[in-house]
Amino acid sequence: MLPQDYQDIISICRAMSVQFLWIDSLCILQDSPEDLLREIKTMLNVYQNALLTLSICWDYSDSTLFPSRMGDTLSIIPPNDEYKNIAYSTAGCAFVNHVDEFKINVTHSLVNSRGWVLQERTLSRRTVYLGNEQLYWECDGAIASETVSKILQDKDVRRMPLFHDSDDFRNALWPKLVEKYSQCGLTSESRQACCYLRHFSDDVCRQPKGSLYCRDLVRVLAL
């Protein structure tokens, strides 16, 4: 019998007509270093090309993804372009949102302190985070939640620039990602930088200025 949260994820995929699902703990033999090394080679393609990544941000497991919630604590804030359409009867009302809510509930959650998950977050093009009280969305264009249509970009991990066309932009981001990654919890030395390094080593092969990456690599190793 699969844990309840896994069953819920399967139900979500079926509802979205998604035919393929990747769960690390099921798709990688946890007690096999050989299988781990074999599957690590596919991780870049798995997360970079996935339709959607689901991330559970609470600390406990084996529980449903659809717990009862305190609905009265959630107040939806209209998108900016809808403020002008708010009825006169609501004039003077203030829509309040905790400015650090995403950082507290997502960035600083236990799951996002792991190096493996940092790679998943950075490589994934779209991620839905299941928080204790609401859902959060992160993609190339924005970070949002059920109550706020757009939140300021999280400066701790800016995943979007990995796919930025500017080499200078990506070169500036790379050392920051390595520094952030080195501060995370790493379960195995064999996992360190496996997806990141492959992603950027592929770029080196395509770029005529590959020597610039070598220079930056020395700078990164000195962090």
Length in residues, the chain? 223
Alpha-carbon gap, residue 85 to 78, rounded angstroms: 10
Report field, pTM of the whole predicted structure over 0.75: no
Alpha-carbon gap, residue 9 to 217, rounded angstroms: 39
Residue 165 CA: distances (Å) to CA of 142, 172, 198, 217, 219:
18, 13, 18, 20, 22
126-157 pLDDT, tens digit each: 999 988 778 899 987 788 888 877 765 555 54
Alpha-carbon gap, residue 206 to 203, rounded angstroms: 5
Calculate the CA 11 to chain-centre distance: 21
Which pLDDT value is given to residue 72? 54
31-59 pLDDT, tens digit each: 888 888 888 878 888 888 999 999 888 76
The residue ranges of every structural domain in the chain are 4-159
The amino acid present at 146, given as its one-letter code, is E
- pLDDT averaged over every residue in the chain: 71
